Structure 1
C-alpha cells in the first residue's frame, strides 16, 4: 500500500505547480502525483492560448484587467477570486520564467503581448501556439528533480474515501 502526505490526481498545470511549490516549502512532506496516462498526456499540453498578465502598469492596470474579467464573466465571477488571481499573476509568471518557461518576444526583445477576446489591453503572453505544452514540460522537468515528489503514470484512481481522518485510495497501475 502506498502512503503519502499529499495525493494529487492528474498531471495538468495546476497539480504540477501545486506539487512544485508545496515540495519547496515543505520538503518534509511526501507528494504523489497520479495520472491515468503519461504525465505529458493532458488537456494542459493541448492548450494553445496564453496567460493574461498585467506587465506594463503605464499602459495597463490591475483594475482594468479586473474590470475586463468581471464584464466578460457576465456576473458569474467571484470578485475576490478575480482580484486575487489578477494581482498575483505577475508573481506566478515570474515563477514560471524561473523554471525555464519562455514566451514569445517581438523584434525589440519585448514580450509580444496579444489582445484576445474580453481584454481591452494587450496582455496575453504566448509560447508560439503551444503555451500549455511549454509550461507543462518545464513543470514536469522541475518536479522530476524533486526528491519528495513521486510521479505515478498509468494509474487509475478507482475509489477515494475521505470520510475518515486518513483517506484511503484504491488505484490500479
Structure 2
C-alpha cells in the first residue's frame, strides 16, 4: 500500500467523508446515527479552522520574514553607502593634508623662516582624535578666522575646491 501524505480538512473533501459514512453504514448493516454524523461535521469544521489558521499563521510569518529581509538589505546598502562616503572623505582629508604640507614647505622655503601668525592652527582630524576634542566646530571657526580677505581677480591656482 502506498504511503499517504498528510491528511487534514483541506485535503479531504466533504463528499469523501459523506461517502465514507454511507459505506460504514452499509458495512455494519445499520444506519449511522445523526449524533455520529454531527460529531464528524464538528470535527471536520474544527480541523478546517485549525488548518486555515495554521496556513494564515504561516503566511503572516512569511510576510514578517520578507519584511525583515528587506530591512536587512536596506541597512546593508546604507552601511555600504556610508562606508564609501567615509572612505572618500578620509582620502580627501589626507590629500588636503598633503597639499597643505607641500604649500607650507614651499612657503617656508621661499621666506626662509617659519611663519609667525597670531591665528590658531587648524586642527586636523587626527590631532582632534588624539586630543579627544571635537574638530567640527573648532575647525570651522579656525577656517573662518584664517581665511584671507577677498581681493579683486581670480582666486589663486592652488586654492582648494570643495
Q: TM-score range by the shorter chain?
A: under 0.3
Larger radius of gyration: 2
TM-score by length of 1: 0.23
Richer in helix (by share): 2
